[in-house]
Structure 1
Amino acid sequence: MTTTYAALLRGINVGGARKVPMAALRTLLEGLGYGDVRTHLQSGQAVFSRGHGDEEDIAGEVARAIERHFGFGVDVIVRDHAYLEAVAGACPFPAAGLEARQLHVTYFSAPVAPDRFAGIDGAAHLPEEFRLGDRALYLYAPDGLGRSRLADQLSRPRVTEGLIATTRNWNTVLKLVEMTRGATEAAG
Protein backbone atom coordinates (compact mmCIF):
# COMPACT_ATOMS: atom_id res chain seq x y z
CA MET A 1 0.00 0.00 0.00
CA THR A 2 1.27 3.48 -0.81
CA THR A 3 0.70 6.71 1.02
CA THR A 4 0.78 10.17 -0.52
CA TYR A 5 2.83 12.83 1.22
CA ALA A 6 3.69 16.48 0.81
CA ALA A 7 7.16 17.68 1.71
CA LEU A 8 7.29 21.31 2.83
CA LEU A 9 10.76 22.79 2.46
CA ARG A 10 11.53 25.85 4.55
CA GLY A 11 13.37 28.89 3.25
CA ILE A 12 14.43 27.89 -0.26
CA ASN A 13 14.48 30.04 -3.40
CA VAL A 14 13.97 33.23 -1.40
CA GLY A 15 15.75 36.30 -2.73
CA GLY A 16 18.05 34.22 -4.92
CA ALA A 17 19.50 32.27 -1.99
CA ARG A 18 19.44 28.54 -1.29
CA LYS A 19 18.34 27.68 -4.81
CA VAL A 20 16.58 24.37 -5.30
CA PRO A 21 15.22 24.09 -8.84
CA MET A 22 11.96 22.17 -8.82
CA ALA A 23 13.02 19.88 -11.71
CA ALA A 24 16.14 18.92 -9.74
CA LEU A 25 14.04 18.36 -6.61
CA ARG A 26 11.70 16.04 -8.53
CA THR A 27 14.67 14.08 -9.86
CA LEU A 28 16.16 13.86 -6.37
CA LEU A 29 12.92 12.52 -4.87
CA GLU A 30 12.51 10.01 -7.70
CA GLY A 31 16.08 8.88 -6.99
CA LEU A 32 15.01 8.13 -3.41
CA GLY A 33 12.44 5.74 -4.85
CA TYR A 34 9.40 7.98 -4.41
CA GLY A 35 6.66 7.75 -7.03
CA ASP A 36 4.22 10.20 -8.60
CA VAL A 37 6.55 13.11 -7.76
CA ARG A 38 5.19 16.58 -8.46
CA THR A 39 6.11 20.04 -7.22
CA HIS A 40 4.08 23.18 -6.61
CA LEU A 41 5.50 26.68 -7.05
CA GLN A 42 9.16 27.50 -6.48
CA SER A 43 8.83 27.95 -2.73
CA GLY A 44 9.30 24.33 -1.77
CA GLN A 45 6.37 21.98 -1.96
CA ALA A 46 6.69 18.47 -3.35
CA VAL A 47 4.11 15.72 -3.45
CA PHE A 48 5.03 12.05 -3.79
CA SER A 49 3.88 8.54 -2.99
CA ARG A 50 5.76 5.75 -1.28
CA GLY A 51 5.12 2.87 1.07
CA HIS A 52 3.72 4.04 4.38
CA GLY A 53 6.43 5.30 6.69
CA ASP A 54 7.16 7.61 9.58
CA GLU A 55 6.81 11.25 8.52
CA GLU A 56 9.83 12.36 10.56
CA ASP A 57 12.00 9.61 9.05
CA ILE A 58 10.91 10.58 5.54
CA ALA A 59 11.57 14.27 6.27
CA GLY A 60 15.04 13.40 7.51
CA GLU A 61 15.74 11.33 4.42
CA VAL A 62 14.64 14.18 2.14
CA ALA A 63 16.65 16.77 4.13
CA ARG A 64 19.83 14.64 4.01
CA ALA A 65 19.43 14.07 0.26
CA ILE A 66 18.98 17.80 -0.35
CA GLU A 67 22.06 18.63 1.70
CA ARG A 68 24.17 16.03 -0.15
CA HIS A 69 22.93 17.17 -3.56
CA PHE A 70 22.71 20.97 -3.16
CA GLY A 71 25.36 21.51 -0.47
CA PHE A 72 23.23 23.22 2.17
CA GLY A 73 20.76 22.17 4.83
CA VAL A 74 17.02 22.67 4.46
CA ASP A 75 14.38 22.11 7.12
CA VAL A 76 11.71 19.72 5.85
CA ILE A 77 8.29 18.80 7.21
CA VAL A 78 6.46 15.84 5.68
CA ARG A 79 2.71 15.32 6.11
CA ASP A 80 0.30 12.86 4.54
CA HIS A 81 -2.92 13.67 2.70
CA ALA A 82 -5.18 12.87 5.66
CA TYR A 83 -3.35 15.35 7.88
CA LEU A 84 -3.32 18.10 5.25
CA GLU A 85 -7.03 17.63 4.64
CA ALA A 86 -7.76 17.67 8.38
CA VAL A 87 -5.83 20.93 8.83
CA ALA A 88 -7.73 22.59 5.98
CA GLY A 89 -11.05 21.30 7.34
CA ALA A 90 -10.35 22.52 10.87
CA CYS A 91 -9.68 26.13 9.90
CA PRO A 92 -11.27 28.30 12.61
CA PHE A 93 -11.60 31.31 10.29
CA PRO A 94 -14.17 31.79 7.49
CA ALA A 95 -11.71 30.79 4.74
CA ALA A 96 -14.28 30.88 1.93
CA GLY A 97 -14.92 34.57 2.60
CA LEU A 98 -11.27 35.63 2.80
CA GLU A 99 -8.56 36.34 0.26
CA ALA A 100 -5.75 33.78 0.25
CA ARG A 101 -3.24 36.48 1.26
CA GLN A 102 -5.22 37.02 4.48
CA LEU A 103 -5.11 33.45 5.77
CA HIS A 104 -2.01 31.38 6.47
CA VAL A 105 -1.11 28.11 8.13
CA THR A 106 2.18 27.55 9.88
CA TYR A 107 3.01 23.86 10.00
CA PHE A 108 5.14 22.74 12.95
CA SER A 109 7.34 19.66 13.16
CA ALA A 110 5.80 18.70 16.52
CA PRO A 111 2.88 19.66 18.76
CA VAL A 112 3.17 23.15 20.23
CA ALA A 113 2.13 23.86 23.80
CA PRO A 114 -0.17 26.88 24.17
CA ASP A 115 2.07 28.33 26.89
CA ARG A 116 4.64 29.23 24.19
CA PHE A 117 2.19 31.96 23.14
CA ALA A 118 1.49 33.28 26.64
CA GLY A 119 3.54 36.44 26.10
CA ILE A 120 1.62 37.49 23.00
CA ASP A 121 -1.15 40.00 23.66
CA GLY A 122 -3.77 39.01 21.08
CA ALA A 123 -5.90 42.10 21.74
CA ALA A 124 -2.98 44.38 20.89
CA HIS A 125 -2.82 42.92 17.36
CA LEU A 126 -6.51 42.97 16.43
CA PRO A 127 -7.94 42.59 13.86
CA GLU A 128 -5.15 40.04 13.30
CA GLU A 129 -5.78 36.76 15.09
CA PHE A 130 -4.26 33.30 15.46
CA ARG A 131 -5.49 29.91 16.62
CA LEU A 132 -3.62 26.70 17.36
CA GLY A 133 -4.46 23.44 15.64
CA ASP A 134 -2.85 20.01 15.39
CA ARG A 135 0.85 20.82 14.81
CA ALA A 136 -0.40 23.90 12.99
CA LEU A 137 -1.17 27.54 13.62
CA TYR A 138 -3.80 29.46 11.69
CA LEU A 139 -3.13 33.17 11.18
CA TYR A 140 -5.68 35.68 9.97
CA ALA A 141 -3.80 38.76 8.75
CA PRO A 142 -6.23 41.06 6.89
CA ASP A 143 -3.41 43.17 5.39
CA GLY A 144 -1.31 40.16 4.39
CA LEU A 145 1.63 38.36 5.96
CA GLY A 146 4.22 40.94 4.92
CA ARG A 147 2.49 43.68 6.94
CA SER A 148 1.55 41.50 9.91
CA ARG A 149 2.93 42.54 13.29
CA LEU A 150 1.40 39.42 14.81
CA ALA A 151 3.26 37.15 12.36
CA ASP A 152 6.50 38.70 13.59
CA GLN A 153 5.58 37.88 17.20
CA LEU A 154 4.57 34.32 16.27
CA SER A 155 7.93 33.62 14.65
CA ARG A 156 10.03 34.67 17.66
CA PRO A 157 12.43 32.08 19.11
CA ARG A 158 10.38 31.62 22.30
CA VAL A 159 7.57 30.28 20.10
CA THR A 160 9.55 28.27 17.56
CA GLU A 161 12.59 27.12 19.56
CA GLY A 162 13.33 23.45 18.94
CA LEU A 163 10.77 23.22 16.13
CA ILE A 164 10.71 23.43 12.39
CA ALA A 165 8.04 25.93 11.38
CA THR A 166 7.06 26.82 7.83
CA THR A 167 4.15 28.96 6.68
CA ARG A 168 1.94 28.63 3.61
CA ASN A 169 -0.87 30.85 2.34
CA TRP A 170 -4.37 29.46 2.08
CA ASN A 171 -4.16 28.83 -1.69
CA THR A 172 -1.12 26.61 -1.14
CA VAL A 173 -2.80 24.83 1.79
CA LEU A 174 -5.74 23.92 -0.46
CA LYS A 175 -3.52 23.06 -3.43
CA LEU A 176 -1.54 20.57 -1.35
CA VAL A 177 -4.77 18.90 -0.22
CA GLU A 178 -5.85 18.66 -3.85
CA MET A 179 -2.49 17.39 -5.10
CA THR A 180 -2.19 14.72 -2.42
CA ARG A 181 -5.81 13.67 -2.92
CA GLY A 182 -5.26 13.16 -6.62
CA ALA A 183 -2.15 11.09 -6.05
CA THR A 184 -3.84 9.10 -3.28
CA GLU A 185 -6.79 8.25 -5.52
CA ALA A 186 -4.46 7.29 -8.37
CA ALA A 187 -2.41 5.08 -6.05
CA GLY A 188 -5.46 3.48 -4.43
Structure 2
Amino acid sequence: MTETFIVLLRGVNVVGANSLPMKDFLRFLESAGAGRVRTYIQSGNAVFQADAGDAAGFPDRIKASIQRSLGFAPEVILLRLEELEKAVAANPYPDADADPRALHLMFLASTPGQPDLTALARLCADGEQFSLNGRVFYFFAPAGIGRSKAARQIEKRLGVLGTARNWRTTGRVLQMARELAASGQSQTVPRPSVLKRRAKGLSSTSNNEAKP
Protein backbone atom coordinates (compact mmCIF):
# COMPACT_ATOMS: atom_id res chain seq x y z
CA MET A 1 0.00 0.00 0.00
CA THR A 2 1.35 3.40 -1.00
CA GLU A 3 1.43 6.14 1.65
CA THR A 4 2.55 9.74 1.82
CA PHE A 5 5.53 10.54 4.03
CA ILE A 6 7.45 13.56 5.24
CA VAL A 7 11.19 13.51 5.88
CA LEU A 8 12.93 16.20 7.93
CA LEU A 9 16.69 16.43 8.35
CA ARG A 10 18.48 17.77 11.42
CA GLY A 11 21.64 19.84 11.21
CA VAL A 12 21.59 20.64 7.50
CA ASN A 13 22.92 24.09 6.55
CA VAL A 14 22.17 26.24 3.53
CA VAL A 15 25.88 26.91 2.90
CA GLY A 16 29.18 25.85 4.39
CA ALA A 17 29.66 22.74 6.50
CA ASN A 18 26.92 20.12 6.35
CA SER A 19 25.21 21.76 3.40
CA LEU A 20 23.03 19.58 1.22
CA PRO A 21 22.12 20.71 -2.31
CA MET A 22 18.49 19.91 -3.04
CA LYS A 23 19.39 18.04 -6.23
CA ASP A 24 21.49 15.67 -4.11
CA PHE A 25 18.76 15.38 -1.49
CA LEU A 26 16.32 14.43 -4.24
CA ARG A 27 18.75 11.84 -5.57
CA PHE A 28 19.30 10.30 -2.14
CA LEU A 29 15.56 10.02 -1.53
CA GLU A 30 14.88 8.42 -4.88
CA SER A 31 17.74 5.95 -4.40
CA ALA A 32 16.20 4.97 -1.06
CA GLY A 33 12.94 4.12 -2.81
CA ALA A 34 10.94 7.35 -2.53
CA GLY A 35 8.58 8.22 -5.35
CA ARG A 36 7.08 11.54 -6.48
CA VAL A 37 9.50 13.47 -4.30
CA ARG A 38 9.01 17.18 -3.64
CA THR A 39 11.45 19.25 -1.59
CA TYR A 40 10.92 22.52 0.24
CA ILE A 41 13.62 25.18 0.85
CA GLN A 42 17.21 24.32 1.72
CA SER A 43 16.93 23.06 5.31
CA GLY A 44 16.10 19.44 4.51
CA ASN A 45 12.34 19.08 4.04
CA ALA A 46 10.69 16.71 1.59
CA VAL A 47 7.44 14.88 0.96
CA PHE A 48 7.18 11.68 -1.04
CA GLN A 49 5.25 8.48 -1.54
CA ALA A 50 6.45 4.95 -0.89
CA ASP A 51 5.29 1.48 -0.03
CA ALA A 52 4.09 1.53 3.58
CA GLY A 53 5.71 -1.79 4.39
CA ASP A 54 9.16 -0.47 3.57
CA ALA A 55 8.96 2.83 5.47
CA ALA A 56 10.89 1.77 8.56
CA GLY A 57 14.17 1.52 6.67
CA PHE A 58 14.04 4.95 5.06
CA PRO A 59 15.88 6.97 7.75
CA ASP A 60 18.86 4.61 7.82
CA ARG A 61 19.10 4.41 4.02
CA ILE A 62 18.93 8.17 3.58
CA LYS A 63 21.46 8.80 6.35
CA ALA A 64 23.85 6.23 4.88
CA SER A 65 23.60 7.77 1.41
CA ILE A 66 24.42 11.24 2.72
CA GLN A 67 27.29 9.88 4.79
CA ARG A 68 28.84 8.08 1.83
CA SER A 69 28.56 11.01 -0.55
CA LEU A 70 28.97 14.09 1.64
CA GLY A 71 30.75 12.87 4.75
CA PHE A 72 28.19 13.72 7.42
CA ALA A 73 25.16 11.86 8.76
CA PRO A 74 22.23 14.06 9.78
CA GLU A 75 19.44 12.77 11.97
CA VAL A 76 16.53 11.79 9.73
CA ILE A 77 12.99 12.16 11.06
CA LEU A 78 10.30 10.31 9.12
CA LEU A 79 6.61 11.11 9.56
CA ARG A 80 3.47 9.76 7.99
CA LEU A 81 1.05 12.35 6.69
CA GLU A 82 -1.39 11.43 9.46
CA GLU A 83 1.28 12.08 12.11
CA LEU A 84 2.00 15.58 10.82
CA GLU A 85 -1.72 16.34 10.59
CA LYS A 86 -2.18 15.31 14.22
CA ALA A 87 0.80 17.40 15.32
CA VAL A 88 -0.62 20.50 13.65
CA ALA A 89 -4.15 19.86 14.94
CA ALA A 90 -2.83 19.46 18.51
CA ASN A 91 -1.05 22.84 18.53
CA PRO A 92 -1.73 24.32 22.00
CA TYR A 93 -0.81 27.87 20.96
CA PRO A 94 -3.49 29.39 18.70
CA ASP A 95 -1.67 32.74 18.67
CA ALA A 96 0.84 31.15 16.30
CA ASP A 97 -1.38 31.99 13.34
CA ALA A 98 -0.80 35.70 14.00
CA ASP A 99 2.97 35.25 14.33
CA PRO A 100 3.93 31.93 12.70
CA ARG A 101 7.65 32.41 13.31
CA ALA A 102 7.15 32.51 17.08
CA LEU A 103 6.11 28.87 17.31
CA HIS A 104 8.50 26.01 16.62
CA LEU A 105 7.59 22.35 16.46
CA MET A 106 10.45 20.00 17.23
CA PHE A 107 9.90 16.55 15.78
CA LEU A 108 11.74 14.04 17.94
CA ALA A 109 13.58 10.86 17.03
CA SER A 110 11.75 9.04 19.83
CA THR A 111 9.39 9.73 22.72
CA PRO A 112 11.36 11.14 25.68
CA GLY A 113 11.63 8.67 28.53
CA GLN A 114 12.53 11.01 31.39
CA PRO A 115 12.36 14.60 30.18
CA ASP A 116 13.47 17.25 32.66
CA LEU A 117 10.71 19.73 31.93
CA THR A 118 11.10 21.47 35.28
CA ALA A 119 14.67 22.48 34.49
CA LEU A 120 13.61 23.62 31.04
CA ALA A 121 10.79 25.72 32.47
CA ARG A 122 13.24 27.58 34.69
CA LEU A 123 15.12 28.72 31.59
CA CYS A 124 12.09 30.20 29.88
CA ALA A 125 11.87 33.99 29.61
CA ASP A 126 10.11 36.70 27.60
CA GLY A 127 6.79 34.88 27.52
CA GLU A 128 8.23 31.56 26.34
CA GLN A 129 6.04 28.50 26.75
CA PHE A 130 6.34 24.87 25.77
CA SER A 131 4.35 21.67 25.59
CA LEU A 132 5.42 18.06 25.01
CA ASN A 133 3.07 15.69 23.21
CA GLY A 134 4.64 12.33 22.41
CA ARG A 135 7.27 12.84 19.72
CA VAL A 136 6.38 16.51 19.18
CA PHE A 137 7.69 19.37 21.30
CA TYR A 138 5.99 22.76 20.89
CA PHE A 139 8.05 25.82 21.79
CA PHE A 140 6.38 29.24 21.70
CA ALA A 141 8.88 32.10 21.79
CA PRO A 142 7.31 35.52 21.10
CA ALA A 143 10.71 37.24 21.28
CA GLY A 144 12.37 34.73 18.95
CA ILE A 145 14.74 31.85 19.62
CA GLY A 146 18.03 33.47 18.60
CA ARG A 147 19.02 34.35 22.18
CA SER A 148 16.74 31.94 23.99
CA LYS A 149 18.49 29.96 26.73
CA ALA A 150 15.62 27.49 26.83
CA ALA A 151 15.79 26.81 23.09
CA ARG A 152 19.45 25.81 23.34
CA GLN A 153 18.66 23.30 26.09
CA ILE A 154 15.64 21.53 24.60
CA GLU A 155 17.38 18.40 23.31
CA LYS A 156 19.52 18.08 26.43
CA ARG A 157 16.54 18.35 28.77
CA LEU A 158 14.39 16.02 26.70
CA GLY A 159 17.16 13.47 26.32
CA VAL A 160 16.49 12.85 22.62
CA LEU A 161 17.46 14.41 19.31
CA GLY A 162 15.00 16.25 17.14
CA THR A 163 14.66 18.82 14.40
CA ALA A 164 12.56 21.96 14.63
CA ARG A 165 10.47 23.81 12.07
CA ASN A 166 8.57 27.03 12.63
CA TRP A 167 4.81 27.12 12.27
CA ARG A 168 4.94 28.59 8.79
CA THR A 169 7.31 25.95 7.43
CA THR A 170 5.35 23.19 9.15
CA GLY A 171 2.16 24.41 7.53
CA ARG A 172 3.73 24.63 4.11
CA VAL A 173 5.18 21.11 4.33
CA LEU A 174 1.80 19.78 5.46
CA GLN A 175 0.12 21.50 2.53
CA MET A 176 2.60 19.92 0.11
CA ALA A 177 2.04 16.48 1.63
CA ARG A 178 -1.73 16.82 1.39
CA GLU A 179 -1.52 17.96 -2.22
CA LEU A 180 0.70 14.99 -3.04
CA ALA A 181 -1.70 12.57 -1.38
CA ALA A 182 -4.70 14.12 -3.12
CA SER A 183 -3.08 14.04 -6.54
CA GLY A 184 -3.38 10.28 -6.64
CA GLN A 185 -1.36 7.28 -5.60
CA SER A 186 -1.41 5.33 -8.83
CA GLN A 187 2.31 5.55 -9.47
CA THR A 188 4.14 2.32 -8.75
CA VAL A 189 6.69 2.64 -5.97
CA PRO A 190 9.90 0.60 -5.84
CA ARG A 191 9.93 -2.74 -4.07
CA PRO A 192 12.73 -3.74 -1.65
CA SER A 193 14.67 -5.62 -4.37
CA VAL A 194 14.73 -2.46 -6.47
CA LEU A 195 15.87 -0.44 -3.48
CA LYS A 196 18.87 -2.70 -2.98
CA ARG A 197 19.92 -2.31 -6.60
CA ARG A 198 19.55 1.45 -6.42
CA ALA A 199 21.49 1.66 -3.17
CA LYS A 200 24.28 -0.40 -4.72
CA GLY A 201 24.33 1.86 -7.76
CA LEU A 202 24.48 4.98 -5.62
CA SER A 203 27.37 3.57 -3.64
CA SER A 204 29.30 2.88 -6.85
CA THR A 205 28.58 6.38 -8.13
CA SER A 206 29.75 7.93 -4.88
CA ASN A 207 32.99 5.95 -4.96
CA ASN A 208 33.69 7.02 -8.54
CA GLU A 209 33.01 10.67 -7.70
CA ALA A 210 35.50 10.49 -4.85
CA LYS A 211 38.33 9.51 -7.20
CA PRO A 212 40.58 12.36 -8.51
Per the normalisation by structure 2, the TM-score is 0.79
Residue 49 (str. 1) matches residue 49 (str. 2): yes
Contact 1:6/1:78 (8 A) holds in 2: yes
Q: Which amino acid aligns with 1:50?
A: A
Taking the aligned partners of 1:126 and 1:53, their CA distance within structure 2 comes to 45
Taking the aligned partners of 2:85 and 2:124, their CA distance within structure 1 comes to 32
Contact 2:114/2:158 (8 A) holds in 1: no
Q: Residues 12 and 24 (structure 1 numbering): CA distance in 2 closer, same or farther, change over 3 Å?
A: same
Residue 164 (str. 1) matches residue 161 (str. 2): yes
Taking the aligned partners of 1:4 and 1:92, their CA distance within structure 2 comes to 25
Residue 59 of structure 1 and its aligned partner are, at CA, apart by 1.1
Contact 1:92/1:131 (8 A) holds in 2: yes
SS in 2 for 1:79: strand
SS in 2 for 1:88: helix
Q: Residues 127 and 158 (structure 1 numbering): CA distance in 2 closer, same or farther, change over 3 Å?
A: closer
Q: Residues 69 and 102 (structure 1 numbering): CA distance in 2 closer, same or farther, change over 3 Å?
A: same
Q: Residues 55 and 91 (structure 1 numbering): CA distance in 2 closer, same or farther, change over 3 Å?
A: farther
RMSD value over aligned CA atoms? 2.0
Contact 2:101/2:167 (8 A) holds in 1: yes
Residue 70 (str. 1) matches residue 67 (str. 2): no
Q: Which has the larger radius of gyration?
A: 2
Contact 1:9/1:43 (8 A) holds in 2: yes
Task: Look up the match of 1:116.
Answer: 116
SS in 2 for 1:118: helix
Taking the aligned partners of 1:180 and 1:151, their CA distance within structure 2 comes to 28
Residue 56 of structure 1 and its aligned partner are, at CA, apart by 4.4
Moved more, 54-63 or 73-82: 54-63
SS in 2 for 1:119: helix
Taking the aligned partners of 1:172 and 1:12, their CA distance within structure 2 comes to 15
Contact 2:120/2:157 (8 A) holds in 1: no
Q: Residues 115 and 77 (structure 1 numbering): CA distance in 2 closer, same or farther, change over 3 Å?
A: closer
Q: Find 1:186's aligned residue among 172, 176, 183.
A: 183
Q: Which amino acid aligns with 1:109?
A: A
Moved more, 145-154 or 61-70: 145-154
Contact 1:77/1:164 (8 A) holds in 2: no
Moved more, 80-89 or 125-134: 125-134
Alignment of 1:141-156 (within 5 A): 141-155=141-155
Q: Which amino acid aligns with 2:158?
A: V
Contact 1:108/1:166 (8 A) holds in 2: yes
For residues 117-165 of structure 1, the C-alpha deviation after alignment (integer angstroms, 9 at most, x for no partner) is: 232335852510000112011011001121322212323x2423xx321
Unaligned runs of 5+ in 1: none
